[in-house]
Structure 1
């Protein structure tokens, strides 16, 4: 009989020894620790409120944010109490009684011969004012969004912090999409706040040029501490201030103002397709009428507001937005889920699987992206079945309108006609992503079901059945040289024997299976595929987003190097390397011969390395050292773009980046230092992408080049490094500068994190 493989959170211990021999790193299933409750409101540098005395007895409730890490282990029995190794997000165990402060010596007698010390001195037990964990809160909401902070609290101090600056849709923006004064303020404020107590955080100085956001961050931190109080003021229900909420469909934003636990004002704002506020002057007659009807109804009745005939859909969206604002305002937010980004899979088949990437806030789905993966577990995009491609948008809309997955899913009712199987898979993936976000996870560490796993070089596909944390069956298939699966009836006798041996070995020993003599490479691929399948089945969110990320190495006056890196579970599963010219067009075989020769070698080496760290250890190819280094840098930057929680939040990567105008006749080289564009050089190109010499340039081209390059200081934000606009003293200069601005924006996009 086939032995069951027990899956446990100790898999990293087993998998680590194979990290080099298999090119399969030990699983990194660190929890993306994010707050159990998003929230916004304001009051600059608010003083702490409702702090209990140091001796207040803590409530015996589970820690709200400590979440144990679960890493799969193919062959040993589950460990009863896994150790949490990631930043906590939720825990399954109630908080233990805080440690007492050092008791007087009187209570300890080290030996019988020691004379006892009088024990009349009182023993003072210092109890925790704040529960350890990770919390999110927001500052005052205004027309551009709001500031927020995700902090980890331990022993009353901030041990880690992620500063947020949201869009009006209340999703954290990339740093570069906020105003330039914030680009360096993120790091400066983080350094000021880290290690601080609540009182210490309240008095740190604001960053010059970003006072409003600095105060918003400080208020966010204060409110996060308030949510972490072990004993809360039962009379305080809402934070005073202006709180923002958004309906999941992104139709309306609502600002709700609370003062002394009372709702005192409501403002309703329509949103455009980009998730920004519609200017009141641009309201349509229908929008004006809807806002006029909805606003007083929400102020009077809140979520109980009754719709006006003909405005049912608008009322529903606005009421959902008000509910979101109300949850953000609550001091004691009772959502069952930890806010943040999560990704999961539906049921796997031999033809592929569905994946969903979602964002949760206050237990509601506020953003979702749906993918259809092929049997190599790489997104098929527009090449998927036509009906599946067509079903993506309506299924996305259904899920957002529902604000969650469909709890009682019926393909006939909830599915998209013509793509019922994929609709079911997407709904299941969203449901599993929600389960990953539970504040208090269950005992089971893996989802039950069928999960696919593929080694990162697409040699082996496994369909793995998991039930009650054990592998119950494995179906192994081989990929042919053409990248397609070999049908079972097309396997040679030798291949059938090999498949049987690998399957029984994986069922018997998991990743500890002995390599088949003469088939070491395929044996390693099979074990890597099992690791991949178990990671896909895990209920713990990883460190990186799956998908393809494009990044560049440092540029010079002949062009740059580009890497398109596809990641799954933090592993490189596909990589395409390019040497591009000054016009950003792939030079292909026209590149230097040494580079042309090096690219396939590096491609193979990067795939074999498989991880961010291992790629940096790949040896440079002789004769193409500079390009080798640049391509390794590009891969590292691609990983930087894939981070779910940015290790170092910045607007741009440091380095040298080029961009081109739409017609590819203008190139701008931008130098970035400390996350800020500080210097720019302008090149004009011919139709072949070669740089034109100065004596070939027109007066207008020279004038624009001089303006851009003469305003470079080399140490502070370049004049045209933020919201560049066309300029010039005449029409010719304005025409040229418009193209230069296109190239600047292109360069900054290449540099963007």
Structure 2
């Protein structure tokens, strides 16, 4: 009888490099859960929420209590929950799982009352002082809160509190859709403010955080972050002031479909003002002067109804869909305002898989806020577990957009997730798998993890060089079955009936060995590489089954090494579970076109060697240990830098949140005739050089340039400071004294934007 693999692999094994270099103890899959600019006008800091000094009295009836949360066809409850509303003494049910019986319910998210631990009962000596034990004011954990909203969005903070201090912090600067922006899409003064404020706030108590200095030039955002931190501490209070239901201030909410944003103002627990803003497809507010007649009429009807009735507002005939969206947005704003927000989930990005088959699997990347799905991207992976994109089955490709829309509209509230989103006709299997992936992603986000370290079901795993596919059955944290398949030299899966007798023997040996010993199975003599691939595939499958969110997003990320006056180096890096599963390296010219065999012979020779070495290294750290190829040292270093930057783009939580990578980057105009080289230091573009190219991508000499070209070159290069933000490093615009200069400068601005995009994190 086959032995079952007890899932007791350590987290270190799961996250360790596995590119044929595994050296791990017997399989142990117990993984610890991860706890998870210059501004246009400076506003005074909002007053931090007052801290209670004593245990508050019984809660009075709130003037404006949280009302039922709407869903597209019915009103959702006031606080989203997995399947039942958690209370202080009851445990909320875990997210239901499609492939297994429900797991045990986690502990309640509500903080228990503080307890006093008695001093050790020993006989004191004559000089001993009485022992005083302080009440634990703040409950350890991860908390998210937002500052006051304004026309550009709002600031937010996700902090981890331990022993009353901030032990980790992520600063957010949201778009009107309330999803964190890339740093470079904010005011330029914020680019360095992220790092400065993070350093100032980390390790602080609540009082210490309130006392830190704002960053000059980013006063409003600095104060918004401080207010967010203060509100997060308020939410972490072990004993809360039950007289206070809402944070005073202006709170923003958005419906998941991005149709409306609502600003709700609370003063002394009363809702005093509601503003409703239609949104465009980019997730930005539509200015009032640009409203259509229909939008103006809808806003005029919705705002007073929300102010009077909140989520109990009744739709006006003909505006039912608008009311549903606006009520969802109001509910979101209300959740951001509630001090005792009892959402069972930690806001943030999560990714998970559906049920795997021999033809591939579905993946969902989601963003959660207030226990609600606010963004989702769906993928169909091939049997090598790499996104197939437009090459997937036509019906699946066609189903992606409508399924995304259905999930946002109908699956926004996990409390109602037993009402599964209907599948798309012609892609039923993929639709169900996407549903399951979203459900599992929600379970990863639970503040109190459900029992078990792994989801039950069938999970695929592939080594990072695509030699072996495993379909692994997991039940109650044990592997109950393994199906081993081999890839051919053409990258396609070999059908079982097409395997040679020798290959069938390998498959049988690998299957029994993995079931018996896991990654500690003995190698097949003469097939050590195949054996290592099978072990790596098992590690990959079990990582895909894990309920722990990884450090990096899956997908393909493009980044560049440092440029010079002959061009630059590019790396397209495909990651899965933090491992490199595909990498393409290029030497590009000043026009950013791949030079191919026209590059230096040493570089042409080095690229295949480095590609194989990077893939074998498998990890961010491993790539940096790869030796440079003799004769192509500079390109080797640049390509290693490009891979590291690709990892930087893939970070779920940026280690160093900044607008740009430091280094030298080039960009070109749309016609590929103007090149601008940008130097970035401390996250800020500080120096620019302009090059004009011929149709072959070669740099034209100075005596070949027109007066207009020289004028544009002189303007851009003379305004380089070398130490502070370049004049054209933030929202560059065309310039010139005549039409010829304006035409050239417009192309130069295209090149600047292209270079900044290459430099962007």
TM-score, length of structure 2 as denominator length:
0.88
CA contact (8 A) 2:560 2:645 kept: yes
Structure 2 distance, partners of 1:273, 1:73, is 21
Task: Tell me the distance in 1 between the aligned counterparts of 2:111 and 2:278.
Answer: 60
Cα offset for 1:21?
2.4
Q: Deviation per CA, 1:208-240, whole angstroms, max 9, x where unpaired?
A: 111111111111111111111111000100000
Distance of aligned partners of 1:108 and 1:234 in 2 relative to their CA distance in 1, 3 Å threshold: closer
Say whether the 8 Å CA contact 1:9–1:69 is kept in structure 2: no
Distance, in Å, in 2 between the alignment partners of 1:176 and 1:604 is 34
Shift of 1:151: 1.5
1:221-370 equivalent positions in 2, closer than 5 A? 221-370=229-378
Q: 2:642 aligns with which of 630, 634, 643?
A: 634
Q: Which residue number in structure 2 is paired with residue 41 of structure 1? A: 41
SS, match of residue 105 in structure 1: coil
Q: Which moved more, 1:436-445 or 1:420-429?
A: 436-445
The offset of 1:92, in angstroms, is 13
SS of match in other structure, 2:114 = helix
Q: Is the 8 A contact 1:32 1:89 kept in 2?
A: no
**Which of 154, 159, 164 is matched with 1:151 structurally?**
159
The 10-residue stretch of structure 1 (509-518 or 398-407) with the greater mean CA deviation from structure 2: 398-407
SS in 1 for 2:19: helix
Task: Note the C-alpha offset of 1:8.
Answer: 2.7
User: Which of 123-132 and 390-399 deviates more?
Assistant: 123-132
199-208 or 674-683: bigger deviation: 199-208
For residues 54-96 of structure 1, give each alpha carbon's deviation from its aligned partner in whole angstroms, at most 9, with x where no partner exists. Answer: x978999999999999999999999999999999999999999
- Structure 1 distance, partners of 2:581, 2:73, is 25
Q: Deviations over 1:508-564 (max 9, x none)?
A: 000111111100000000000000000000111000000000000000000000000
CA distance in 2, matches of 1:408, 1:677: 48
What displacement does 1:134 show?
A: 1.8
Check conservation: 1:75, 1:509, Cα contact below 8 A: no
Residue by residue, what CA displacement relative to the aligned partner does 1:280-309 show, whole Å, maximum 9, x if unpaired? 111001100100000000000000000000
Q: CA deviation at 1:51?
A: 3.1
Contact 1:451 1:536 in 2 (8 A): yes
Structure 1 residue 163, shift from structure 2 partner: 1.2
With 199-208 and 229-238 compared, the bigger mean Cα shift is at: 199-208
Question: CA offsets per residue over residues 319-349 of structure 1, 9 Å max, x none?
Answer: 0000000000000101111111000001000
In the TM superposition, residue 402 of structure 1 has moved relative to its aligned partner by 1.4
Instruction: Using the TM superposition, name which of 94-103 and 634-643 deviates more.
Output: 94-103
Q: Is the 8 A contact 2:353 2:436 kept in 1?
A: yes
Taking a change above 3 Å as real, the CA distance of residues 576 and 689 of structure 1, as seen in their structure-2 partners, is same
8 Å contact kept, 2:488–2:494: yes
Question: What are the within-5 Å matches in structure 2 for residues 186-585 of structure 1?
Answer: 186-404=194-412, 414-585=422-593
Evaluate the alpha carbon distance shift between residue 89 and residue 563 of structure 1 in structure 2; reply closer, same or farther with a 3 A threshold.
farther
Q: Distance in 2 between matches of 1:109 and 1:247?
A: 45
Shift of 1:126: 1.2
Q: How many residues align?
A: 751
Whether contact under 8 Å (2:553, 2:652) holds in the other structure is yes
Any idea what the Cα deviations from partners look like across 1:725-748, whole Å, max 9, x if unmatched? 000000000000000000000000
Aligned partners of 2:546 and 2:10: how far apart in 1?
12
CA contact (8 A) 2:674 2:692 kept: yes
SS of the equivalent of 1:50 reads: coil
Structure 2 counterparts to residues 163-182 of structure 1, below 5 A = 163-182=171-190
Question: What secondary structure does 1:641 align onto?
Answer: helix
Counterpart position of 1:23:
23
Whether the 8 Å contact between 2:263 and 2:333 is mirrored in structure 1 is yes
**CA contact under 8 A between 1:71 and 1:538: conserved in structure 2?**
no
For the residue of structure 2 that corresponds to 1:25, the secondary structure is coil
Q: How many angstroms does 1:10 deviate by? A: 2.5
> Secondary structure of 2:480's partner?
strand
Residues 407-427 of structure 1: CA deviation (Å, up to 9, x unaligned): 898999811111111111111
Q: Retained in 2: the 8 A contact 1:346–1:426?
A: yes
Give yes or no for contact 1:103–1:123 (8 Å, CA) kept in 2.
no
**C-alpha RMSD of the superposition:** 7.8
Asked if the contact 1:31/1:543 (under 8 Å) is kept, the reply is no
Q: How much does 1:44 deviate?
A: 5.0
After superposition, the Cα gap between the structure-2 partners of 1:424 and 1:58, relative to the gap in structure 1 and judged at 3 Å, is: farther
Q: Residues 79, 423 of structure 1: CA spacing in aligned structure 2 closer, same or farther, 3 A cutoff?
A: closer
Aligned-pair CA distance for 1:646: 0.2
Question: In 2, distance between residues paired with 1:343 and 1:117?
Answer: 58
Rounded to whole Å, the distance in 2 between the matches of 1:342 and 1:21 is 29
> Contact 2:147/2:225 (CA < 8 Å) preserved in 1?
yes
User: For the Cα contact (< 8 Å) 2:8–2:30, is it kept in 1?
Assistant: no
Alignment partners' CA distance in 1, 2:421 and 2:214 = 54
In 2 relative to 1, CA 713–425 (structure 1 residues): closer, same or farther, beyond 3 Å?
Answer: same
Secondary structure in structure 1 of the residue aligned to 2:420: helix
Contact 1:255 1:322 survives alignment (8 Å): yes
Structure 1's unaligned 5+ residue stretches are: none
State the shift of 1:6 in Å. Answer: 1.1
Tell me the TM-score normalised to structure 1 length.
0.89
Deviating more after overlay: 21-30 vs 479-488: 21-30
Taking a change above 3 Å as real, the CA distance of residues 664 and 14 of structure 1, as seen in their structure-2 partners, is: closer
Distance 1:408 1:264, change over 3 A: closer
Secondary structure of the structure 2 residue equivalent to 1:180: coil
Q: CA deviation at 1:152?
A: 1.7
Determine if contact 1:18/1:26 at 8 Å carries over to the other structure: no
Unaligned segments of structure 2, at least 5 residues: 96-105
Structure 1 residues 484-493 or 69-78, which shifts more? Answer: 69-78
**Helix, strand or coil at the partner of 1:434:** helix
Aligned-partner SS, 1:164: strand
Residues 135 and 32 (structure 1), Cα distance of their counterparts in 2 relative to 1, 3 Å cut:
farther
Q: 1:369 to 1:46 in 2, by over 3 A?
A: same
Q: 1:316 to 1:412 in 2, by over 3 A?
A: closer
- Alpha-carbon spacing, 1:442–1:735, altered in 2? closer, same or farther (3 Å): same
The 1:283/1:241 distance shift into structure 2, 3 A limit, reads same
- Change in CA separation of 1:311 and 1:645 when aligned onto 2, cut-off 3 Å: same
Deviates further, 588-597 or 26-35: 26-35
Q: Structure 1 pair 207/156, CA: closer, same or farther in 2 (3 Å)?
A: same
Closer, same or farther: CA 637–111 of 1 in aligned 2, 3 Å: closer
The offset of 1:205, in angstroms, is 1.5
In the superposition, relative to structure 1, how do residues 681 and 259 fare at CA in structure 2: closer, same or farther (>3 Å)? same
Give me the whole-angstrom Cα distance separating, in 2, the residues matched to 1:161 and 1:281. Answer: 39
Contact 2:5 2:27 in 1 (8 A): no
Give distance in 2, aligned partners of 1:327 and 1:102: 15
Q: 1:470 to 1:405 in 2, by over 3 A?
A: farther
Q: Deviation string for 1:420-459 (max 9, x for gaps)?
A: 1111111110011011111122221111111000000000
Structure 1 residue 130: Cα displacement? 1.0
Q: SS of 2:189's equivalent?
A: helix
Q: Report the more deviating stretch, 627-636 or 219-228.
A: 219-228
- CA 1:664–1:743: 2 relative to 1, 3 Å: same
In 2, Cα distance between the equivalents of 1:472 and 1:75? 41
Q: Deviations over 1:155-203 (max 9, x none)?
A: 2122222111100000010000001010111111112212221112112
1:186 to 1:609, Cα distance in 2 relative to 1, 3 A: same
Inter-CA distance 76–492: structure 2 relative to 1 (3 Å threshold): farther
> How far is the alpha carbon of 1:122 from its aligned partner?
3.7
Q: Structure 1 residues 26 and 721, CA, compared in 2 at 3 Å: closer, same or farther?
A: farther
Identify the range of structure 1 (55-64 vs 374-383) with the bigger mean alpha-carbon deviation. 55-64
Distance (whole Å) between structure 2 residues aligned to residue 259 and residue 73 of structure 1: 27
- For residues 111 and 308 of structure 2, what CA distance do their matches in structure 1 show? 56
**Conserved 8 A contact 1:89-1:439:** no
Separation in 1, partners of 2:238, 2:301: 42
Cα distance in 2 for partners of 1:70, 1:624 equals: 64
Q: Tell me the distance in 2 between the aligned counterparts of 1:467 and 1:37.
A: 52
Alpha-carbon offset, residue 150 of structure 1? 1.4
1:260/1:71 Cα in 2 relative to 1: closer, same or farther (>3 Å)?
closer
3-state SS in 2 of match to 1:19 = coil
Q: 1:399, CA displacement in angstroms? A: 0.2
